[in-house]
Amino acid sequence: MAFNNDKIVFGGRITEDLRRQIFVKQYRIVDVTFTQANVDTPIPHTLRVDYPEDIRYLDITPGTVYTGGSDTVAHVYRSSGPTRTAFTTDTVFLRSTVAGYSTRLLLFVER
């Protein structure tokens, strides 16, 4: 038994009171490599959503790419331009500012 935000967690299971406080309805962790910079990269997922645009993402292992003798910080983003690819029920399309960037993403749907 452990205490977390004044709620009790029994044997690694979250009590219903604590579950109601978590903002994530469902999530998936996916590994991805962006082979090109600033190009939509398809990232398959198994989230069950009615509206794919409700899917959010976080880069949970942000890092750099070593090229040309220096580290370049990479950022993952979703284009807002007219050439972006819309999310679908089984794939999101994100971009990286640096080619060759490998990372782990948290894809999630809020409650």
- Please tell me the pTM assigned to this model: 0.77
Residue 32 near residue 107, CB atoms below 8 Å: no
Per DSSP, 54 falls in state: G
Sign of the CA dihedral running 41, 46, 51, 53:
negative
Question: Each residue of 60-73: pLDDT tens digit?
Answer: 988 888 877 889 89
Question: Each residue of 1-26: pLDDT tens digit?
Answer: 444 444 444 455 656 665 566 666 78
So where are the chain's domains? 25-110
